[in-house]
Amino acid sequence: MKQAFNDHWRFQKKGGRWEMITLPHDAMLHEKRSAEAGGKSASGFFPGGQYI
């Protein structure tokens, strides 16, 4: 039996709203890049955060 695994997942940034996603997924792509981000170039200038 074959079962689909990549569809019908959801995620949210802590305190945000739930969003439906398909795997593979990278939550950072929803963030705005900034030269002032804490990790600088090591984090791709993304601010980071907690995701559930």
Q: How far apart are CA 37 and CA 31, in angstroms?
A: 11
Distance CA 2, CA 41 (A): 41
Residue 29, both tokens: 């792509």
The pLDDT averaged over each successive group of 10 residues in the chain (52 residues) is 88 89 85 85 82 76
Q: What are phi and psi of 21, to 5 degrees?
A: -135, 165
Report helix, strand or coil for 21.
strand
Write down the domain spans for the chain.
Answer: 1-52
Q: What's the pTM? A: 0.56
